């Protein structure tokens, strides 16, 4: 029971993510979470705005069921399979975050300062979540895949386009982490 | 009811991502700062398991339920959309600390501000669909 309640190590988590792709393939389906964003737009009637959203979304209904399942899984894991969950981030990361004003590193699962409703409203959390969300939705559809489609499925299948996409994921992530966040947090929290 | 199997696979996936802390912004920032092996181990071992399966399926010509080859999607050639789209997604990944799956998982785990991020991601997809014809592929 103790092992279940502790954070799980990478060598358990990674192979199980790989097996998720395998389990879906054995059911005749392809692992690709960002496709759901398009499907939801289609269901909401976006076909009247762009032909991109036209077509039969019912073939993707299984994927919506999959993401609904993962939401249930997240709820169970966070609320019933963890005592007081917090992320033991590396000391170096914790020290850096603390130096730019994110003091919750090492004591929380997500940064309270920005990803609570208080942080969302007063500490610029809304900038990260709204602009970041927009970029995730736009970028994954432009690249035709996210971490599941490109990094896991595409690299497993030796797809050059996926390697190019993953290089892009890192280019974008490094720009934000090294250039934007230090400036933004210092401005937000040191005043 | 095949939907039950997708629901169950999804539940396991959600538990694994949450227990593995893959949905935490802290782990994503740590990865982009190259200060821990955790996320590289997760992604690397996931790809290793996936690649072994794809190799075996190809070698032994395993077939899926509709008699199709068991292979992930083959992407069209090209690089602009993959590099540009990938970079745009990467910016959002570091800002929210979440790729599309974790956006949904965070929201239901209890970080309800992520419902706003999901709405923003849907808007981003909508904008993509509307400007798609003007973008280089």
Each residue's pLDDT, cut to its tens digit, for chain A (191 residues) gives: 678 899 999 999 999 999 999 999 999 999 999 999 999 999 999 999 999 999 999 999 999 999 999 999 999 999 999 998 999 999 999 999 999 999 999 999 999 999 999 999 988 899 999 999 999 999 999 999 999 999 999 999 999 999 999 999 999 999 999 999 999 999 888 75
User: Is residue A39 a part of any domain in this protein?
Assistant: yes
B107-125: string of b/e by CB count within 10 Å (b at 16+)?
A: bbbebebbebbbbbbbbbb
* Residue A138 counted as domain residue: no
Tokens of A152: 């896991």
Q: Does the beta carbon of A42 lie under 8 angstroms from any beta carbon of chain B?
A: no
By the CB < 8 Å criterion, does A34 face chain B?
Answer: yes
pLDDT at site A189: 85
User: Inter-chain contact B122–A37, Cβ cutoff 8 Å?
Assistant: yes
A8: containing domain = 1-83
**Strand, coil or helix: A103:** coil
Beta bridge partners of B63: B69
Whether the per-residue pLDDT at B66 is higher than 90: the answer is: no
Sequence length of chain A is 191
Average pLDDT rounded to a whole number, residues B13-30: 98
User: Is position A18 within any domain?
Assistant: yes
Is residue A172 in a domain?
Answer: no
d(CA B29, CA B34): 9
Q: What is the pLDDT of residue A190?
A: 72
pLDDT (average), residues B23-27: 98
Domain membership flag for residue A91: no
Q: How many domains does chain A have?
A: 1
Angle (CA) A118-A114-B26 rounded to 5° is: 145
Q: For residue A56, give how far its alpha carbon lies from the nearest alpha carbon of chain B (Å).
A: 16
Least Cα separation, residue A46 to chain B (angstroms): 7
Q: Would A57 be classed as within a structural domain?
A: yes
Phi, psi of B132 (to 5 degrees): -45, -45
pLDDT (mean) for B26-30: 98
pLDDT at B11: 98
Is A135 in CB contact (< 8 Å) with chain B?
yes
Q: Is residue A61 part of a domain?
A: yes
Q: Residue B3, class by beta-carbon neighbours within 10 Å (0-12 exposed, 13-18 middle, 19+ buried)? A: middle
CA distance A59 to A71: 21
pLDDT for B100-113, tens place per residue? 999 999 999 999 99
A78 falls within a domain: yes
> Helix (H, G, I), strand (E, B), or coil: what is residue B35?
coil
* 3-state secondary structure at position B88: helix
Does the interface predicted TM-score (ipTM) exceed 0.90? yes
* Interface probe with B: pick from A133, A166, A167, A181, most Cβ of B within 10 Å: A133
Where helices occur in chain B by DSSP H, the ranges are: 2-19, 25-32, 38-59, 80-96, 100-109, 114-131
Q: Are B110 and B125 in contact (CB under 8 A)?
A: no
Q: Across residues B106-124, what is the average pLDDT? A: 98
Interface of B with A in 21-80 (CB under 8 A): 21-33, 35-51, 53-54, 57, 64-66, 68, 70-79
Q: Residue B34 and residue B36: Cα distance in Å, rounded?
A: 6
Residue A104 CA: distances (Å) to CA of A108, A122, B101: 6, 16, 24
Chain A CB contacts of B22 below 8 Å: 13, 17
Q: How far apart are CA B87 and CA A61, in angstroms?
A: 28
Spatial distance between the Cα atoms of A116 and A122, rounded to a whole number of angstroms: 10
- Measured distance CA(B104)–CA(A71) in Å, rounded: 6
How many CB pairs below 8 Å do chains A and B form together? 501
The torsion angles phi and psi of A138, rounded to 5 degrees, stand at -70, -50
pLDDT of residue A33: 97
Q: How far is B78 from chain A (nearest CA, A)?
A: 7
Contact B89, A146 (CB under 8 A): yes
Q: B33 pLDDT exceeds 70?
A: yes
Interface of A with B in 66-85 (CB under 8 A): 66-79, 81-82
């Amino acid at each position: 029971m103790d092992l279940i309640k502790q954070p799980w190590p990478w060598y358990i988590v990674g192979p199980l993510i790989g097996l998720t792709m395998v389990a879906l393939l054995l059911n005749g389906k392809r692992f690709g979470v960002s496709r759901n964003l398009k499907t939801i737009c289609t269901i909401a009637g976006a076909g009247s705005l762009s032909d991109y959203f036209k077509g039969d979304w019912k073939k993707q209904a299984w994927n919506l069921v999959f993401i609904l399942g993962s939401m249930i899984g997240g709820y169970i894991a966070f609320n019933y399979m963890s005592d007081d969950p917090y992320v033991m981030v590396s000391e170096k990361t914790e020290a850096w975050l603390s130096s730019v004003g994110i003091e919750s590193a090492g004591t929380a699962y997500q940064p309270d300062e920005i990803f609570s409703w208080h942080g969302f409203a007063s500490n610029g959390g809304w900038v990260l979540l709204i602009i970041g969300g927009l970029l995730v939705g736009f970028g994954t559809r432009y690249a035709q895949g996210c971490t599941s489609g490109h990094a896991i499925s595409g690299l497993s299948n030796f797809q050059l386009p996926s390697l190019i996409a993953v290089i892009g994921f890192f280019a974008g992530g490094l720009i934000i982490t090294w250039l934007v966040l230090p400036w933004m947090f210092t401005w937000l929290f040191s005043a | 009811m095949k939907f039950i199997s997708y629901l169950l696979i999804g539940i396991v996936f959600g538990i694994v991502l949450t227990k593995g802390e893959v949905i935490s912004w802290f782990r994503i920032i740590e990865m982009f700062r190259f200060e821990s092996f955790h996320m590289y181990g997760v992604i690397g071992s996931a790809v290793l398991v996936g690649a072994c399966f794809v190799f075996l399926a190809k070698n032994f010509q395993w077939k899926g339920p509709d008699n199709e080859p068991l292979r992930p999607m083959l992407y069209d050639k090209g690089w602009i959309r993959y590099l540009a789209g990938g970079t745009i997604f990467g910016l959002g990944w570091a800002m929210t600390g979440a790729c599309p799956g974790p956006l949904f998982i965070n929201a239901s785990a209890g970080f309800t501000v992520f419902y706003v991020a999901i709405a923003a991601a849907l808007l981003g997809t909508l904008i993509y669909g509307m400007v798609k014809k003007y973008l280089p592929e």
